[in-house]
Amino acid sequence: MFKKLDATAINRSLLAKDVSIREVIEGHKAAFYASEELNAITYHKSDIELEVDAEDIQRRFDDGDTRPLLGIPISVKDVIAVAKMPLTGGSLLLADNVATKSAPVVQATIEGGGFVVAKTNCPEFAFGITTSNLLYGTTLSPLDPLLSPGGSSGGEAVSVAMGVSLIGVGTDFGGSLRWPSQCLGLTSLRPTPQALSPLGHIPGVGRSPFDGDAQYDVASLQYKLQVPGFIARSVADLKSALTTTSLVRGSAKGSSATDSVAELSKSRSKLALEMSEVEIGWSDGNAISVVDEEISCAIELIVKELEVGGFKTRYQGDGFVGAREAFDELRSYEDLFAIRQLADGRFGDLSPSLQKIISNPMRSRDGYELARANGELIRGNLLIGFDTTPLFILPVAGAPSVGHDEVAIINSKKVEGFNLMAHCRAISLLGCPVVTVPIAKTRQGLPFGIQIVAAPFREDLALELAGVIESITGGWSYFSIER
């Protein structure tokens, strides 16, 4: 029943009593069994637990509850705490770890009516652009087992694409929601940092237990730029997820951050008026890193469609130049202290990629301060541009999904590893909200999308434009995966 429908449609059907919550759960279970060979799910609720969920949700419907996430199956990336479920980060170091308390973003989702059905696979401690680790193995793309669903929220993308869940809760540091969404033709939201609580995520939690109360090292780049966010099938679903979680007040900054996100609740007429007056900047992204010609052409076609619809656009080919390099430089100073502590005496249990990172000597504090100052200067200069151009469109990446070897040939140039996520990493530095939406497929049938970037705490603008573009491109019904 989940092949073509999004969470919004399922919720409406439940409210209208066209389907029952038990039918939704049976649909979820069927999708779970159909996706087992893809190795995306690391933990799945038992039938007894799902029956308890069904009874609770049915009571809420009977009591007149109409929340938009009520009755929606949710999956959670295995670096985010869900009470009484494994929290391993895909690492042998935490193979037996079980969270004692849910992360605030998860708790908010549950209070908003969603029910968590599964935890999903990711690269060890979410360091990777594909999804594989020594604890659970490799996650495969439902499009082709030779392809990766991306990373680090690759398990989440597979879960949502296959209908195991209809909204996925993941994290994004350098593109970990945006890149998997592109790989499987989904939408995603990376909120403004601190708009939703960053607590209860690993790694970077210092000496606290690895559970919902875990704290980051607040001086780290990861604390400043990694965010919880969502993968879904539609922009409407993203709106429901963000509205639900921000209203529950999970912000690490207190009410000031979530008050800014509450712009989402402004009247539709006021937002429509603002959208009609804003200028939308755009770029094919080649100034950041090489972009496949099919992607560049598709972006130009989307811009032309927006212009036909009355929107003002302006080409800014050099938009965000320098941001990717500044992000990479800052990232190179992350010492991964919490992981170093965990790996003490168990170095061989780490994945080869993390072994390589931790084997490097820790870099000087003076060098970090220089890189931080340079990053802040670049960020400040680029954010000024949002005063006149509050929305910007650019590629998610230079290529569609790639194989598990993490290599792509783009316009005769070899691009590999984290360089494939250059366009995402550039935007991460800015601390802006980003919505991704699929726009087309390659000649080989692989989906790809765009990033819609807005000024900090203007999720409402990014989501509104994403909805317009989604209506142009066909939405999930066009990009859905048939298996």
What value does the mean pLDDT take over residues 230-242? 97
Taking the CA atoms of 200, 201, 202 and 204 in sequence, report the sign of the dihedral they define. negative
pLDDT at 274: 84
- State the average pLDDT over residues 176-190: 98
Worst-scoring range by mean pLDDT, 224-233, 278-287, 366-375, 376-385?
Answer: 366-375
Question: Are 36 and 164 spatial neighbours (Cβ–Cβ below 8 Å)?
Answer: no
Residue with tokens 């994290």: 171
Q: Is residue 268 part of a domain?
A: yes
* Higher-scoring residue by pLDDT: 278, 263: 278
Look at residue 17 and tell me if it is in a domain: yes
Q: Measuring CA to CA, how many Å separate 422 from each of 8, 118, 396? A: 32, 30, 9
Rounded distance between C-alpha atoms, residue 364 and residue 362, angstroms: 7
pLDDT band at 206 (very low <50, low <70, confident <90, very high): very low
For residue range 365-422, what is the model confidence (pLDDT) as tens digits? 788 889 989 999 999 999 999 999 999 999 999 999 999 999 999 999 999 999 999 9
> Token pair 């992981």 is at which residue?
339
Domain span holding position 70: 7-479
CA-wise closest residue to 170 among 257, 111, 228: 228
| Residue 2 belongs to a domain | no
Q: Is the pLDDT of residue 253 over 90?
A: no
Is residue 162, in this structure, part of any structural domain at all? yes
Instruction: Encode pLDDT of 27-44 as tens digits.
Output: 999 999 999 999 999 999
- Among residues 99, 115, 123, the alpha carbon closest in space to that of 56 is found at 115
How confident is the model over 333-349, as pLDDT tens digits?
A: 887 877 888 888 999 99
Q: Positive or negative, the Cα torsion across 226, 230, 231, 236?
A: negative
Asked whether 230 and 169 are in contact (CB, 8 A), the reply is yes
Task: Judge whether 290 and 411 are in contact, CB under 8 Å.
Answer: yes
Q: Is the pLDDT of residue 481 over 90?
A: no
Residue 204: is its pLDDT beyond 80? no
Assigned domain for 166 exists: yes
User: Over pLDDT 70: what percentage of the chain?
Assistant: 91
Interhelix angle 235-247/459-473, rounded to 10 degrees, is 160
Interval 111-150: pLDDT, tens:
999 999 999 999 999 999 999 999 999 999 999 999 999 9
- The dihedral built from the CA positions of residue 223, 422, 382 and 265, taken in this order, carries a sign that is negative
Cα–Cα distance measured from residue 281 to residue 283, given in angstroms and rounded to the nearest whole number: 7
The packing angle between helices 21-35 and 47-62, to 10°, is 150
In a domain, 1, yes or no: no
The pLDDT-based confidence of 260 (bands split at 50, 70, 90) is very low
Q: Is the pLDDT of residue 276 over 90?
A: no
204 or 188: which carries more pLDDT confidence? 188
**Separation between Cα atoms, residue 259 and residue 460, nearest integer Å:** 12
pLDDT at 252: 37
CATH number of residue 72's parent domain: 3.90.1300.10
Check whether 257 has a pLDDT greater than 50: no
Using a cut of 0.75, tell me whether the model's pTM lies above it.
Answer: yes
Distances (CA, A) of 454 to 191, 194, 221, 244, 390: 10, 15, 21, 20, 6
Q: Are 285 and 398 in contact (CB under 8 A)?
A: yes
Write out the chain in H/E/C secondary structure.
Answer: CCCCCCHHHHHHHHHCCCCCHHHHHHHHHHHHHHHHHHCCEEEECCHHHHHHHHHHHHHHHHCCCCCCCCCCEEEEECCECCCCCECCCCCHHHCCCECCCCCHHHHHHHHCCCEEEEEECCCHHHCCCCCEECCCEECCCCCCCCECCCCCCHHHHHHHHHCCCCEEEEEECCCCCHHHHHHHCCEEEECCCCCCCCCCECCCCCCCCCCCCCCCCCCCHHHHHCEEEEEECCHHHHHHHHHHHHHCCCCCCCHHHHHHHHHHHCCHHHHHHHHHHCEEEECCCCCCCCCCHHHHHHHHHHHHHHHHCCCEEEECCCCCCCHHHHHHHHHCCCCCHHHHHHCCCCHHHCCHHHHHHHHCCCCCHHHHHHHHHHHHHHHHHHHHHHHCCCEEEEECCCCCCCECCCEEEECCEEEEHHHHHHHHHHHHHHCCCEEEEEEEECCCCCEEEEEEEECCCCHHHHHHHHHHHHHHHCCHHHHCCCC
Q: What confidence score (pLDDT) does residue 470 get?
A: 97
- Domain count for the chain: 1
Q: Give the per-residue pLDDT at 223.
A: 77
* Residue 411 resides in a domain: yes
Q: How far apart are the first and last CA of the chain?
A: 13
* Residue type (1 letter), 301: L
- Predicted confidence at residue 209, as pLDDT, reads 44
Confidence of residue 207 (pLDDT cuts 50, 70, 90): very low
Residue 135's pLDDT is what?
Answer: 98
